A and B are shown apart, each in its own frame.
Chain A
Amino acid sequence: MSATLEAPAIPPATPPTRLPRNYLNAAYTVRSWLLTIDHKRIAILYLLGVTVFFCIGGAAAVLFRLELMTPEADLVESETYNKLFTLHGVMMIFFFLIPAIPAVLGNFLIPIMIGARDMAFPRINLLSWYLFMIGGAFTLFVTVAGGVDTGWTFYAPYSSTYSNTYVMATAVGIFITGFSSILTGLNFIVTVHKMRAPGMTWFRLPLFIWSHYATALIMILGTPVVAMAILLVALERGFGIGIFDPKLGGDPILFQHLFWFYSHPAVYIMVLPAMGVESELIAAFTKNRIFGYKFVAFSSLAIAILSFLVWGHHLFVSGQSIYAGMIFSMLSMLIAIPSAIKVLNWTATLRKGSITFDTPLLYALGFIGLFTLGGLTGLFLAAMGIDVHVHDTYFIVAHFHYIMVGGTVMAYLGGIHFWWPKITGRMYPEGWARLSAVLVFVGFNLTFFPQFILGYNGMPRRYHVYDPGFQVLNVMSSAGASILGIAYLFPITYLIWSLKYGPIAGPNPWNAVGLEWMTSSPPPTHNFAHTPIVDFEAYEYPSSSAAIADTHGN
């Protein structure tokens, strides 16, 4: 061949280039991942875990939404349907929503945002990931072995006397995962208290840190209570000790009290970190300091405290005294105040901002709208008269999905996009990302808005056979769910694609303010070349210097 006769072009000799060391290329072995004590790698491990559990929970939802296309039982039997919605609830709540933002974004960002090299207890951090995965493995085992049909609430006596499914294995799984949550909360609290860089005062902390601090308080105060409730159910089933057994004079309502003492605050474990993400997104894409920084910060703590005083609104129809009901009703309405402070302050931050409609802000704006709708319908449910009417109907289902999916998942996706360049060093494809953000919003509303109407008209939750009059709205809901399901597959696909093909991001692709944007992307193993000295306020954007001067005046 003639080409070989020509002298081959010798490339000019270049000195070997070495990529700057970061936490991803520091080591490549499996062992270096599974035994890592680097908070950033642990965050990646969590990201993989929660994504798997999210997909399982999502698949269950797809199946029962398909079943609900028709009023008759044609796809699955009652028993299978019960197992599907239980699987969906358990996976999504305990293994996705509760750990998603704190364990992935919180783990990655908290030490960097406060200028520390790592969490206070890196080994405990790794331990909590293992506990999380062991708990998840138990639940997966249950799924394979035949499922559990009590609903995610495990009410006694469904879970104690009358259930023959794998309640014990699920309970053990959730118990273990609870310890993961406790240890994460403990680590956050100690880290925020003791590991801040010089000059990083409490009021210079990003609001992301404040809301995670409040979340950690709920984690350490609430989770042990549900651990005990689960332990008592386990003792009842495993050892034959009857704590909730009415035959002995035990009271199943006690289980509901103990359960909701954790599980209502758990809603705030899910949504407070989302609010923290929201503050970061709004500030970065308006280039404004968050309006009323201190109000937003303290409203997180107010939500954490109030969250422990409202559990009784789940028991309005459980035979709780009407006076207790009135108190709980009032307290439940009070918690709307700090939530509203946040929403109003984010909205005020948008004013006169130099807004760019990048994907994270689309999710953030979606969050504001959906969370507001979810929060306002929460006020309906806090009012006893309406709650008695819509209790255990699709109205409830729609309400908490507006908070959890419309709030938490939107913020989680927004946060993942916002910090993706920091985590991986690569940008995601903006066009696809905007398209999927819009699809998520449309699909979500089409899925869950009809459920408000269904519930108000009296369709009970947890039934797979329903009155044919409800079919139109149910078909709308199922159609929305399929849009939502596809819209969730988009980010999974293009984010993986971007790992190899995405443009290099650089340290600060958004021109945002904050310690995490002052180190390289991806950050080096110890986050900073030198411990930073913080001599600037949170969100110190050029346009907001007046607002900061105002804060100093206070």
Chain B
Amino acid sequence: MSTPAAAPPLPIHTAIDRPHFALQFDDYHQQYDACVLGMWVFLVTEVMFFGAIFTGYAVYRMLHHDAFAMASNELDITLGTINTFVLLTSSLTMALAVRAGHVGNSKRVGQLIVLTMILGATFLGIKFFEYYHKYEDHMAPAFGLPFEAPKAVNDAGLAGPFQLFLSFYFGMTGVHALHMIIGLGLLSQFLPRSSRIAPAPGAAVLSALNIEVVGLYWHFVDLVWIFLFPMLYLIDRSDTI
């Protein structure tokens, strides 16, 4: 897709002035615009993807208000809040990395990407810790694992909808976590390289585009959590069940 290898070597200054772009494009700007628009269009599909399960959740929340409120209180709000903080901070470091990519500071990009990935991995670690807690408390409604609703819920006859809430909790945060893992995979391409091979001509400019596109994705995944956190943890929260 890139310029054929047989092309005559360009003078050094041209290589800097004319970064690589794929054959179907007329110039680098067209490629840049197309790739960024492509990512935005993809994010629209992601909005619709998450939108479907959010809608289902909202409908059930109305249908089974009391059970969902009780189940919501079972979630660990402290860990949820810490995770929100961790994820928002990773968005900050990502935004700084995009900026560093645009000004061509590749060393800075490497540092910030490492930081972003550590924060992302921390989020996932805390999330799996939360999952494990739910498993220990017999509140993971999957794979036929033992499931017991608390006594108060059982007494109120709300065990079914209570389990529905936890199904949504695992489904929604699970799909979100999957997106986080994919995001970490995408970010890993910007990890600082130990090799001292000089970058290919135009590579720095191209990576500014790549990092912009991956940055959009990362911010979107964070944004999904900004909706998940209040919907799952915060609404109808009270100390008394």
Contacts and interface: CB of A to CB of B under 8 A. Distances in A.
Interface string B31-75: 001100110011011101111110110011001100100000000
Nearest to B56: A254
Which of A222, A242, A250 has the most B CB atoms < 10 Å from its CB?
A: A250
B155 interface: no
B142 interface: yes
Contact of B48 (A224, A231, A250): A224
A258 B53 CA distance: 9
Contact of A227 (B1, B38, B49, B170): B49
Which of B25, B56, B160 has the most A CB atoms < 10 Å from its CB?
A: B56
A37 B52 contact: no
A464 to B, nearest CB: 34
Interface in A466-499: none
B23 interface: yes
B27 to A, nearest CB: 11
B141 interface: yes
A186 B42 contact: yes
Contact of A240 (B48, B142, B168): B142
Contact of B171 (A182, A232, A248): A232
Given A117-B23, A118-B24, A194-B34, A228 B168 contact: no
A309 interface: no
Contacts of B23: 117-118, 526
Interface string A106-128: 00000100001111111110000
A228 B49 contact: yes
A243 B1 contact: no
A21 interface: no
Contacts of B1: 37, 122-123
A358 interface: no
Contacts of A284: none
B171 A220 contact: no
Contacts of B46: 224
A120 B24 contact: yes
B161 A249 contact: yes
Given A37-B1, A186-B41, A240-B144, A221 B48 contact: yes
B17 interface: no
A349 to B, nearest CB: 33
A229 interface: yes
A248 B38 contact: no
B232 to A, nearest CB: 15
B48 A249 contact: no
A187 B35 CA distance: 10
B30 interface: yes
Contacts of B41: 185-186, 189-190, 220
B143 interface: yes
Given A239-B143, A249-B63, A225 B52 contact: yes
A124 B45 CA distance: 15
Which of A186, A231, A241 has the most B CB atoms < 10 Å from its CB?
A: A241
B60 A250 contact: yes
B86 interface: no
B160 A240 contact: no
A182 B63 CA distance: 32
Contacts of B48: 220-222, 224-225
Nearest 7 A/B pairs, CB to CB: A228-B52, A224-B49, A118-B24, A248-B160, A224-B48, A249-B161, A194-B34
5 contacts: A118-B24, A122-B1, A122-B22, A194-B30, A254-B60
